[in-house]
Amino acid sequence: MLRSAVFARSVALLSALPTALAAPAAMSQPALAQGVVQERPAAFVDAATIVPGLIPEMRYATAHNFTARPVDGYEARRCLLTRQAAEALAAVARDLAPRGFVIKAFDCYRPTRAVANFVRWARDINDQAARAEFYPNVDKRTLFRDGYIASHSGHSRGSTIDMTLARSDGTELDMGTPFDFFSPHSSTADPTVTPEQHANRMFLVAAMRRRGFRNYAKEWWHYTLTPEPFPDTYFNFPVR
């Protein structure tokens, strides 16, 4: 009953927010060869120039991630997204600003070379430098089987963001687990989190859904704009 009451209050907070933007039309998709260094296409923008108050933490440009080192393809802490995704995210930010919340981005567009870096890391069973923080209860040999690491990522299509909500001073809302925590507890609807943590997750889901983003059920932080401008194209230009 407590969880239901808290969830109801979080939904009520969103009831006065504006209705969703019209879904963007799909764009033509260029033929792009994976593994080839490319310049940033004109269809991509630096989201910080569009999204009010965005905090681009961008973990994979730093050593604070599950590999314990900067990841291939990240040359700057910059959140790149397709223009449609960035504009929809800006609408979310404007909706949430009256509540005192801003968006913190952990990852945005991800080059395919970064995904390949993750695959190489996952196959090196002895490289477990960041295990205590990110996967303390997971056998690294099962990362592919359990779906924590994959050979392709929707992030490479440019309209997916890993994110949370924070207050204006950067303090994150309590979502129950850290970003990129390899555990069933990171599933958005995990029943073991506290009522407050559950309400925070549902508040984020509702705010993002209102502007056309779909949550990935196994990761509370993962959202994709629907429909995607490039649903079948995986880009490989560096983040710089």
Q: Which residues are catalytic?
A: 219
Residue type, 188: T
SS3 184: helix
How many residues are listed for the chain in this entry?
240
SS3 156: helix
Among the listed residues 105, 45, 56, the one whose alpha carbon sits nearest the alpha carbon of residue 78: 56
Strand pairing partners for 162? 107, 222
Tokens matching residue 162: 């890993």
SS3 223: strand
* Cis amide prior to 227 (ω within 30 degrees): yes
